[in-house]
Structure 1
Amino acid sequence: MTIATMNVASLKVVKNSVIGNRTAKGAYGSDEAFVSKLVDALNDPPVSTGDSATAIRVEASHIIASLSYGSPDALRTLLRLNTPQALLYAISTFPPSESATLKAALARALRAVAAAIADVVGPSQWGLATSVSDVRAEAKAALDYLFQSEVLDVYIPLLVDQSTQVSAAVAQLLASAVRDASHRNRVSEWSPIAERTVEAKGKRGWEKRDPTKSPSRLGGWIARTLSTLLHRKDAKLQEAALSALASLAKDNETLAIRLAKGPPGQEPVLSAVLSLCKSRNTDLQLAASLCATNILRASSSPNSSYFPPSDQTGAITIMHVLNRIIGSDTASNQTRTKACFILYHLVADHKDFCQLAFDRNSLSHVGQLVKSITPVEKTTEEEEDEPESVSRLREAALTAVAAISLFDIDIRTAVTDELRLIPAIQTSLSHRYVGVRYAACQCARALSRAVSALRTNIVDTGLGMSVFRLFMKEGEDRRVMHAASTVICNVVTDFSPLRSTLIDQGAITRLVQLLNTGDVELKLNALWAFKNLLYKATPDLKRQVMSSIGWGEMNNLLVDPDMRIQEQALHIMRHVADGVDEVEFVFSEMGGSEAMLGSLAVAMESDDEDVVLQAVFVLANVANSPAHQRSILSHPRILHRLRECLVDAKVEIRRPAVSCVLELVRQNPRSHRELHEAGIDSTLRHMCEHTSHVSASPTLRVAAGRQAMGAEDDLEVQEKARQALHWLEHSLDMDV
């Protein structure tokens, strides 16, 4: 489809044919010779056509921007021809007198290409991406290139260009292309070369620097510049600046706190953002709501040292705006989709905000939306004819429902009994659109966390078995399988009526398959399900499960590089070895005392507290078997680590550790020599001697349940330490 003459007229024909036409984009985009001419024209336009070079460059930029959207073939060709580099070179050579039209065209083209590349690399900004592109590796390299320091020096300064179209395009680029923490940090910390030079001179110590002009003192050049753009009376520019700030503040605690707190004597940027949530412009409301959401969530993270005073007030403001949009009959599907996803980002994994969303009727709004767009009885033909915008809206609304109902049983009851959403969720499990199936699984996961729902609604409606059928489906999307496996983790617990049915229908075999897929997250969920399945399991079920996993594989899992996998494997061993006969079974299959205790010793020496916790629980179970107590007492590494757990581990670890010691001394009254050599006897005395002192002196206590100076402040640990010491001292009296 190469055009004969590269002139303004012919380029406009191409431009008009590819705008909004995926077929034409694919055809022109696959023509590498034509696209190569376009890319060349960005910096070296033909001059024999009688048209101005600027006009040709503008039209070529427009076509490239259009080709980058909607056609994988076109994007593949653009990447192969190094289009981002060509656009950046064109921008880097702008003379002071360059026309605003050309600058805006090139900036938009760069924004469009960057956004398309970022969409391929991921993660997706609005829901689940439908597929994984075969050019992801090339796209990732191109995206990393765009965020190199010297490349940022080329296009970031355009944020302060006199043309609002140019500055808006660069802000939109940041909003759409910043997807991961490394890129986020590079952009957030960027400053102009002049400011970097001032910083460098100041660090030499020979030049006095005004601290008020330090970029770090003022909150960063990018944050200051984008915040300034919020006050311009241009809705498109404000929306772009808000979206850029939202991308940069996401999971970025340092920047978020700056935006939420503000310099002394100045209004925080967050206040201005929340004010824009009340704009009459819906797109501006959405951008402001997302920006405020990301600032609130990042600045009030569990590890944050700052708690914004407007935390709940800001959340209520955002919810009020989103509720109105979600409940609107006139808002477009795309607009309501964004509103639902912003609500999800606001409440996800935040118990207080979930409750607030329930109290402010956000759940009711998204629930009613789900019901209104989800016919429970729908033919395959009708589903295939469903517009993609409706499918994406259903995905967004279900995702919000799942997030809001994750923690509280009353909220889950509202989902099942008041809103009656289970039929819509069940129907969505078989939807052709991957994002809808994934979101429906997330809803089922949230509901299955409630014992009452698990015993009634999930069984009675068939939702549990619908998820199980999806879980058993070969070739299902990996992300959907991950979500479905989290539901199975809940459905195989000992109080689930479906437990036996799922076992009979092949759940164990399917979980073993997931264990061997090579996908870490699926592997982790399979182990989690096995852990739940083995809790209070019969000896026969334990043998069936362990035979299916394989003892050799279990040994591999216990030394897996991923600490999460080690933790789950140890938790499985804890449930298997919860009786004297079962301990014998485990020891025989694990290669005897030396191998078994050696594995536990290694786990107890881990730097991961969760791994140590489960290893100590396994040891405590083993200590309940008289046949293996002497093996523990004759294992210096285990006893030494057991003493360390009593001294400086968190209280959750100290409890099983002291139980283990108590059982050992109670059943082996003449074990004081081994315990003395390990220092456990003196540790027990220290724990008991300081009991009264600890109670009177809170300053000795350490956060998170840790001890200080061997003192013990947990009543359960105190009592068992006292009992263990009594048995030890009694055995010494007997020896005398």
Structure 2
Amino acid sequence: MTITALNVPTLKAVKNAVIGNRTAKGNYGRDEVFVSRLVECINDPPTSPGDWEGSKTSLRIEAAHILASLSYGSLDALRTLLRLNASQALLYAVSTFQPTDSVSLKAAITRALRAIATAIADAVGPSQWGLSPSVSDIRPEAKAALDYVFQPEIMDVYIPLLNDRSPQVSTAIAQLIASSVRDSTHRTKVSDWCPPGERTVETKGKRGWEKRDPTKSPSRQGGWITRTLAALLRQKDAKLQEAALSALASVTKENEPLASRLARAPPGQESVMSTVLSLCKSRNTDLQLAASLCATNILRAPPAPKSHIPYISPAEQTTAITIMHVLNRIISSDTASNQHKTKACFILYYLVTDHKLFCQLAYERNCLVQVAQLVTSITPIEKTSEDDEDEPESVSRLREAALTAVAAIAMFDNDIRTAVTDELKIIPAVQVSLTHQYVGVRYAACQCARALSRAVSALRTNIVDTGLGMSVFQLFMKQDEDRQVMHAASTVVCNVVTDFSPLRSTLIEQGVITRLVQLLNTGDSALRLNALWAFKNLLYKATPELKRQVMNRIGWQEVRSLLEDPDHRIREQAFHIIRHVADGVDGVDLLFSEMGGSEVLLGHLAKAIESEDDEDVVLQAVFVLANMANSAAHQRSILADQRILRCLRDCLIDAKVEIRRPAISCVLELVRQNPRSHRELHEAKIDSTLRHMCEHSSHVSASPTALRLTGGRQMGAEDDLEVQGKAQQALHWLEHNADMDV
């Protein structure tokens, strides 16, 4: 298929052949000789007798069009483009732009650069809109190429073109930023970039003896990129405005300092957020979506509130309602395209995900009804094996997006989950989507099942009665399932194996333990973590027989290794597992006999408690120790270990209250059951620590509010009533036993 003559008519024919044709793209893309000649043509077009300068320009334009087209839809073509360094060739072409170059040439080359950069970013991930298939074989090459595009000296080549006089060129550069910035490293590099001249001003200003004019600081109003993109929003070109909004959304995502600047209004001016929200009211749907995404990323850049009483300001609520109103109108529209509805559903997901108050707001503003009705309207419940194959990709992607939005809204609240199961009756659509051929639909269906399975009432009724639980389990048991779908399915299994689940015994009989052990032995940290989480839930209030069965299947040597895993999340779950094993005298005996004896077991616990890298690991280790203290047969081993006793004392002095509670319970149980334990506890200075806690506690108000106002533990007072009471009991037992010895 190699093209022998590279001329304008030939290239136009190739361009027309590959546009929208994946097969043709693959065929031409695998022809490395032809693609190599295209890449060379960008900067050094071939000449022949009678050629004139316009002919060379036309060759370069057509070559750029073909390279742009080849980058989409064919991994073979992208692989060839990476191997031939096509993006570097295009960047060099941009660097040699001349004032006399035609707009058509500059637009063609910048669009080709944007197309290839976007395709490379798609290969690296994460995907911008839904789940993308894994392309691990070219990911290392793609990542190196993408990192090159965002080197500061390379950005010097193309980012200034945001100010190009031609809207086609500046639009292409804004689109490049919008579609290629996928991670925090690149986001920081782009948002911090400024022209070399402004860098000089910044450097001089840092000498210390110069007083820098704040109005000329490169970082003012969020930096050069932000100012330039914000200025483009005031243009009357809708395509350019859309590109600028998308670029702003990309650089603002999870960038709290920048987002706060965009939300504030400079003196005498309108804030960028206000401009963005005004564009949400455009009649152009693409512009509405771009503005909604930009506003969402500005609003959600700060992390979601984690307090027991979360709060959002009136301005944040108003902004969220404005975005939801726009998205609802698009999702429910009879005329909006599937692509537009898909983006609207994903933007809704970005807005509410992991934010309880925004989820509640979305429920109140009818967003849940809109996306749920969309799911049921495009999901055939009684389907044949040919239905998936005949379904257009745009419909599959829309179903993925809508299911993803439903899952996010229903993640926190039982009333919302009840609305999903009982009023909107979406479970049949979720269940049938679990076997869809498109990986994104299966993944989103698992996420819905996960959200619903968090409700005890649904787990005991709807999920069992409809067969949804077993459908997810069958997907979970597939050996060849996509890794991302398996991860989502494993989160559902974590919920379904809890002690209150009617499916627990059935799943055990059908091999869930074996499958979890397989996942635990994979190299995938996310799957290993979920497997441990499922084991933890499975062992909660388990019988001694089930505890022994599970631990033997995991392997005791493997358990000891997990307690020292480099990943603190793995260690936390491993200690939580042995905490549940030790919830009973038989379980404690099992731990001491299988974990290498008291010295090894207590050594693991001491090492975990002494670590300062993660309080969650410390918490679980102290809970294990507290459970072990309930076994009279092994209390002497704990009392004989001065390292462990020092750890307990340190927890009583310095740890947060969640850790102090099991620590004081452990001390109380040791003192109560061992009348002659005062010597060991005295040597560990636990007795003096208890006196200190009780003496100070007797002089302060028992009101938690008063304790906080007076400094609480900073003044030596124990500010938790439960810890206070147990400390007093432990001291009483300790002093009483000491008097008896005398």
Cα contact 2:61–2:105 (8 A) shared by 1: yes
Cα contact 2:626–2:663 (8 A) shared by 1: yes
Equivalent position SS for 2:221: coil
Point out the more displaced range, 420-429 or 70-79.
70-79
> Partners in 1 of 2:738 and 2:436 — Cα distance?
71
Shift of 1:133: 4.7
* Residue aligning to 1:685: 691
Equivalent position SS for 1:501: helix
Q: Does 1:62 align with 2:68?
A: no
Percent identity, please: 76
Cα contact 2:702–2:721 (8 A) shared by 1: no
1:651-666 → structure 2 map (5 Å cutoff) = 651-666=657-672
The verdict on how the C-alpha distance between 1:54 and 1:623 changes in structure 2, with shifts beyond 3 A counting, is same
Shift of 1:473: 1.1
> Partners in 2 of 1:338 and 1:256 — Cα distance?
22
> Partners in 2 of 1:44 and 1:628 — Cα distance?
82
The one-character-per-residue Cα deviations of 1:475-528 (angstroms, maximum 9, x if unpaired) are: 111111111111111111111111111101111111111111111111111110
The one-character-per-residue Cα deviations of 1:164-221 (angstroms, maximum 9, x if unpaired) are: 1111101100110000110011101111100101111122235442122112233211
> Partners in 1 of 2:651 and 2:428 — Cα distance?
50
The one-character-per-residue Cα deviations of 1:375-428 (angstroms, maximum 9, x if unpaired) are: 101001122111111111111111111111011111111111101111111101
> Partners in 2 of 1:541 and 1:306 — Cα distance?
43
Cα contact 1:341–1:397 (8 A) shared by 2: yes
1:566 paired residue among 571, 575, 582:
571
Shift of 1:98: 2.8
> Partners in 1 of 2:502 and 2:706 — Cα distance?
49
The one-character-per-residue Cα deviations of 1:25-84 (angstroms, maximum 9, x if unpaired) are: 122211111111111111111232624222221221111111111111111111111111
The verdict on how the C-alpha distance between 1:233 and 1:306 changes in structure 2, with shifts beyond 3 A counting, is farther
* Residue aligning to 1:97: 100
Cα contact 1:171–1:244 (8 A) shared by 2: yes
* Residue aligning to 1:412: 417
Q: Does 1:173 align with 2:176?
A: yes
> Partners in 2 of 1:16 and 1:471 — Cα distance?
45
2:317 paired residue among 293, 308, 312:
312
1:518-597 → structure 2 map (5 Å cutoff) = 518-597=523-602
Cα contact 2:304–2:355 (8 A) shared by 1: no
Cα contact 1:36–1:81 (8 A) shared by 2: yes
Shift of 1:667: 1.4
Point out the more displaced range, 719-728 or 198-207.
198-207
Is there any run of 5+ residues in structure 2 with no aligned partner, and where?
none
Q: Does 1:45 align with 2:50?
A: no
Shift of 1:697: 9.1
* Residue aligning to 2:651: 645
* Residue aligning to 1:393: 398
* Residue aligning to 2:478: 473
Cα contact 2:41–2:63 (8 A) shared by 1: yes
* Residue aligning to 2:82: 79
Equivalent AA in structure 2 for residue 580 of structure 1: V
* Residue aligning to 1:668: 674
TM-score, L = length of structure 2: 0.96
Q: Does 1:191 align with 2:188?
A: no
1:161 paired residue among 148, 159, 164:
164
Cα contact 1:300–1:306 (8 A) shared by 2: no
Equivalent AA in structure 1 for residue 12 of structure 2: K
Cα contact 2:704–2:719 (8 A) shared by 1: no
1:88 paired residue among 73, 87, 91:
91
1:627-638 → structure 2 map (5 Å cutoff) = 627-638=633-644
> Partners in 1 of 2:266 and 2:409 — Cα distance?
34
Cα contact 1:300–1:307 (8 A) shared by 2: no
Equivalent AA in structure 1 for residue 623 of structure 2: F
Point out the more displaced range, 548-557 or 130-139.
130-139
1:108 paired residue among 107, 111, 116:
111
Cα contact 2:305–2:355 (8 A) shared by 1: no
> Partners in 2 of 1:182 and 1:568 — Cα distance?
30
Equivalent AA in structure 1 for residue 579 of structure 2: R
The one-character-per-residue Cα deviations of 1:334-365 (angstroms, maximum 9, x if unpaired) are: 11111111111111111001111110110000
> Partners in 1 of 2:409 and 2:156 — Cα distance?
42
> Partners in 2 of 1:9 and 1:538 — Cα distance?
78
1:190-229 → structure 2 map (5 Å cutoff) = 190-229=193-232
Q: Does 1:370 align with 2:375?
A: yes
Shift of 1:308: 6.1
Shift of 1:684: 1.5
> Partners in 2 of 1:660 and 1:306 — Cα distance?
37
Equivalent position SS for 1:693: coil
Point out the more displaced range, 663-672 or 465-474.
663-672
- Output the aligned Cα RMSD: 1.9
Equivalent AA in structure 1 for residue 618 of structure 2: V
Point out the more displaced range, 308-317 or 492-501.
308-317
> Partners in 1 of 2:89 and 2:275 — Cα distance?
38
The verdict on how the C-alpha distance between 1:210 and 1:699 changes in structure 2, with shifts beyond 3 A counting, is farther
> Partners in 1 of 2:410 and 2:87 — Cα distance?
43
* Residue aligning to 1:346: 351
The one-character-per-residue Cα deviations of 1:668-701 (angstroms, maximum 9, x if unpaired) are: 2332222222222222222222224365796864
> Partners in 2 of 1:306 and 1:406 — Cα distance?
18
1:295-306 → structure 2 map (5 Å cutoff) = 295-299=298-302, 301-302=304-305
1:432 paired residue among 432, 437, 440:
437
Point out the more displaced range, 705-714 or 112-121.
705-714
Is there any run of 5+ residues in structure 1 with no aligned partner, and where?
none
The one-character-per-residue Cα deviations of 1:446-474 (angstroms, maximum 9, x if unpaired) are: 11111111111111111111111111111
The verdict on how the C-alpha distance between 1:517 and 1:192 changes in structure 2, with shifts beyond 3 A counting, is same
Q: Does 1:707 align with 2:713?
A: yes
The verdict on how the C-alpha distance between 1:196 and 1:308 changes in structure 2, with shifts beyond 3 A counting, is farther
> Partners in 1 of 2:120 and 2:198 — Cα distance?
30
Point out the more displaced range, 630-639 or 333-342.
630-639
Shift of 1:303: 8.3
Cα contact 1:299–1:308 (8 A) shared by 2: no
Point out the more displaced range, 331-340 or 632-641.
632-641
Point out the more displaced range, 634-643 or 610-619.
634-643
Report how many aligned residue pairs link the two structures.
735
> Partners in 2 of 1:600 and 1:694 — Cα distance?
35
Equivalent AA in structure 2 for residue 5 of structure 1: A
Cα contact 1:694–1:711 (8 A) shared by 2: no
Point out the more displaced range, 52-61 or 186-195.
52-61
> Partners in 2 of 1:73 and 1:508 — Cα distance?
40
> Partners in 2 of 1:192 and 1:428 — Cα distance?
50
> Partners in 2 of 1:706 and 1:148 — Cα distance?
51
Point out the more displaced range, 550-559 or 677-686.
677-686
> Partners in 1 of 2:107 and 2:39 — Cα distance?
17
Shift of 1:702: 9.5
Equivalent position SS for 1:191: coil
> Partners in 2 of 1:642 and 1:735 — Cα distance?
24
Equivalent AA in structure 1 for residue 14 of structure 2: V
Equivalent AA in structure 1 for residue 284 of structure 2: N
Point out the more displaced range, 51-60 or 64-73.
51-60
> Partners in 2 of 1:707 and 1:579 — Cα distance?
33
1:294 paired residue among 292, 297, 300:
297
* Residue aligning to 1:263: 266
